[in-house]
Structure 1
């Protein structure tokens, strides 16, 4: 895994040390630079595949130059398929040879995670590209003919000093993350997953090309046999796990929770690795999945480590954890992700995870009602009944309780606006408190996407899964895991985001995913072949971090310091009185939701102070 940075038509001097130091955690092994005409490319390398000098970057080949962050897992198969010969086994070189053969059509052949900048110096074209899911980040500053791009926003900001986009920050607070290409800055966009930019380096003209849309696979009707689908998924996932192990010259480990997703990945990985290293998080005060994870570890004889996180250094680390993202981050699970990645790095450099399984196979409890009711188009009786009940019922304070589940279901059932329905069903932050905003959220892009998807002739469940893949997974969860792992020079690989899985899962019938009240049914069925029976029926929990406790205790002082500061940023976007009343518990709201909002605003302030 690596860090990349580059400029086109950038007139100001660049200190290599600033770029290299800023991205050193992404690539501590080697640093390289290329310059020609008006183009500069920088690369920091974390050597995992082809550890020899032949894997160094920027890499040149017949007038082509590339800086590449990621892995192409099937690149040797592609060499064989297309008769490509080379002495080096570098997947970076495979990209260059494939481009020479077929141009950017090569992307459709790749199974991998990638963000790269490929410069065709003979035709004065720069290509910036990202993989299907958006595993590897890439941010682009563009002003007139000038382009600056980077793996991380922090380095980009230090070089370009873009102005803050207050409208984008208002959207962040409402949605809980920056949606799709949005960033907290003017003139800076995130390159979207499944897209590439084609830039004429002489004129500065740029085309944004969408080369992969998962919605195309959701719109394809299929009626497969259930048992055949289970067998097909078994083969696809095994291949994905194997390729993610084989394409590393270093040992590969696995994050192992007590859940089905990581359990399946670990079981299949153990069949490929003689002594797989596995890691489980144990958090005091939350549901302890380490006993379930240990059953899997014993079954497959893995070298198992339980990472006990006591958060004793949380008050000292919290500002660093948040500021690593380069933008506000409301996802508090970034905290345990940071600590478990730090612990895993002591043992390995490459780790497998179960990212993407929930969004593709229906792993969250909130997917269940969408299987049975069209909440995107509720009738008037549903809306009125839901509103009446949520107004008279007491608020729900227990996050994992059945009452909380029912309460949230009634709440988003009472909305007719698509934005409110989606945000209430997902992040659940400021929905219902729109009057608290001074800078009103516009959310034009997400509103348009929701309206477009709602017009598709697909089920309500497919609509929600599609939105979550393009929104929550791309904009929040994958970003969180990338930052957490790369902060410690650790590479995370996600078999559930393999090319074949992304083309297979969307077309499955809804009842293969949600069966009555049971989530991800097909994965549970497959899990019976590999996992202890106690693990199969476990509900989705994720990291159950004690956010309410932190906000009222460990983090109370630092949150108060930031939110009550006279020069705070949020008061330009949200009424300060609203936040003060929230802190003083004068607003009718659940303790969990109160904590989430305060942490979301706190994250905004930490990011701003770090600039």
Structure 2
């Protein structure tokens, strides 16, 4: 896990460019370096996870190719063997580079993991940029006069040159708690789309989720795939821990991983500690219950907004950040349960609603079931639902959650953990698992309750109380934290807090 900064045909000074790169030191405290090739700037900050030797520092150059890379390709060992790659390091970075040398853009279909990278062919002076299928690793870009700036975060781009706010991006945030479909809250800074690559001329999609009706997989097949998704995400030269809230998803991952350390977080009078303790009773891990108070919640939120240069998505983003501070004392890698709700329809209320629709998705009902901000903005909802593939409304909603909604959660996780120089891995977002689940029957996924397939497979592994408990998110007492104004909902006050802090730092 790292941070990358690329500036094509760089017109900035070395000092300006390096200052921008330094704003991402938290993403890579183990090494910072840059190279200039053909007047292109390649900057990298490294968090050492695999092959801790300095030989794997970046920018990494080999036989006329150079790469800056953020993420992990978990199947790198299999790629070396299956494709007869000759490598000099033990890092997945070199494997990605050699796969590109051998297959060009087709290399992407072989990669299993989370990644964003820039590859430069030094001899032919060409650029290749790619992002993983589901957007686990962030990547932003801005086209300037004769240049392209690409970065793992927004702050380096703004450090080079300020930007104005995008009114439609802000409206998206107020309605959806995130910006979508390439937007950010800045006019000229865009999100590089997941499942795409850029060849120097065109932005090309190399992967999309296809939802076609199909039979449900056997429990053995699903279990084997989940086990493998967890197993390959333990590949690391540093210790791997796990979040453990006591919910179904984190409990399954923790029981499969059997980590030495686990963590949860909450407020003194609002937390899930009894559930995490119950889950940990069968693990006997060193379980850390992290406390946060209201004042600390606000101060950490302000700090995160100032650093991110964007508003936070949901209140529990701050709780993840607080919890990861404790993680960093013991681990550099942690497993997290993002993706399970989207794949196994943990949001049972909205999926039951969508399954009853015969024709099209009603905008007002979608607003009621999904949106949080009380502002009425049908244009934003129209934009969110526009162009969703699928024959039936339930297919469109499934696509929205697995491809669009999930990106917001992954962005939240990356922001919160990387601020602490910790890499979060998400087994449920393994693309093989996402593809396997797409189009499977509603009755199989929902059954008697939400996430029925997971409950059936792991009923003998985890405590029955956790199997039977109702789903809740990270509990945050917003009305206590934001007592005023009394005529606003807790979520509206949360959104107002974020935008107020953002405008303060921007002014």
5+ residue gaps, structure 2, are none
Q: CA deviation at 1:311?
A: 3.8
Write the deviation string for residues 562-598 of structure 1: whole angstroms up to 9, x where unpaired.
xxxxxxxxxxxxxxxxxxxxx362xxxxx6xx22112
Q: 1:310 & 1:169 partners in 2: Cα distance?
A: 29
Give yes or no for the alignment of 1:549 onto 2:444.
no
Q: C-alpha distance in 2, partners of 1:429/1:282?
A: 24
1:606 to 497, 501, 504: 501
Q: How far apart are 1:486 and its partner, in Å?
A: 0.5
Tell me the TM-score normalized by structure 1. 0.79
Please give the alpha-carbon distance, in whole angstroms, between the structure 1 residues aligned to 2:463 and 2:171. 46
Pick one of 464, 475, 498 that aligns with 2:430: 498
Greater shift after overlay, 600-609 or 288-297? Answer: 288-297
**Partner SS for 1:32:** strand
Distance (whole Å) between structure 1 residues aligned to residue 76 and residue 477 of structure 2: 43
- Give unpaired runs (5+ residues) of structure 1: 200-205, 379-415, 435-440, 557-582, 586-590
- Corresponding residue to 2:230 among 241, 246, 249: 241
Kept in 2, the 8 Å contact 1:59–1:67? The answer is yes
Question: How far off is 1:491 after superposition?
Answer: 0.6
Whole-Å separation in 1 of the counterparts to 2:58 and 2:233:
22
Change (3 A) 1:457 1:17: closer
Distance 2:297 2:213 in 1: 48
Shift of the 330–244 alpha-carbon distance from structure 1 to 2, 3 Å rule, reads closer
Cα distance in 2 for residues equivalent to 1:208 and 1:189: 13
Equivalences for residues 357-376 of structure 1 within 5 A: 357-370=340-353, 372-374=355-357
Say whether the 8 Å CA contact 2:20–2:159 is kept in structure 1.
Answer: no
CA-to-partner distance for each residue in 1:64-91, whole Å, 9 max, x for gaps? 1111010000011011001112231110
- 1:430 equivalenced with 2:364 (yes/no): no
Residue 159 of structure 1 is matched in structure 2 by: 160
**Greater C-alpha radius of gyration:** 1
Change in Cα spacing, 1:224 to 1:358, as seen in structure 2 (3 Å) is closer
Deviations 1:273-308 (A, max 9, x none): xx521112233332x432232233221332222222
Shift of 1:536: 0.3
SS at the partner of 1:184? coil
TM-score by length of 2: 0.95
In structure 2, distance between residues paired with 1:131 and 1:259: 27
Task: Kindly state the Cα deviation for residue 312 of structure 1 after the two structures are TM-superposed.
Answer: 4.3
> For the aligned residues, what is the CA RMSD?
2.0
Q: Alpha carbons of 1:276 and 1:512: their partners in 2 closer, same or farther (altered >3 Å)? A: farther
Alignment partner of 1:511 is 2:494: no
- 2:396 aligned to which of 457, 463, 472: 463
Does residue 211 of structure 1 match 2:195? no
Deviation at residue 17 of structure 1 after TM alignment: 4.2
Q: What is the aligned partner in structure 1 of residue 315 from structure 2? A: 332
Asked if 1 retains the 8 angstrom alpha-carbon contact of 2:20 and 2:155, the reply is: no
* Alignment partner of 1:532 out of 438, 453, 463: 463
1:447 equivalent in alignment to 2:448: no
Q: Say yes or no: does 1:260 pair with 2:248.
A: yes
Alpha-carbon separation, structure 2, partners of 1:172 and 1:35: 37
Counterpart of 1:4 in structure 2 is 4
Aligned to 2:191: 190
The runs of at least 4 aligned residues of structure 1 exceeding 4 Å deviation read none
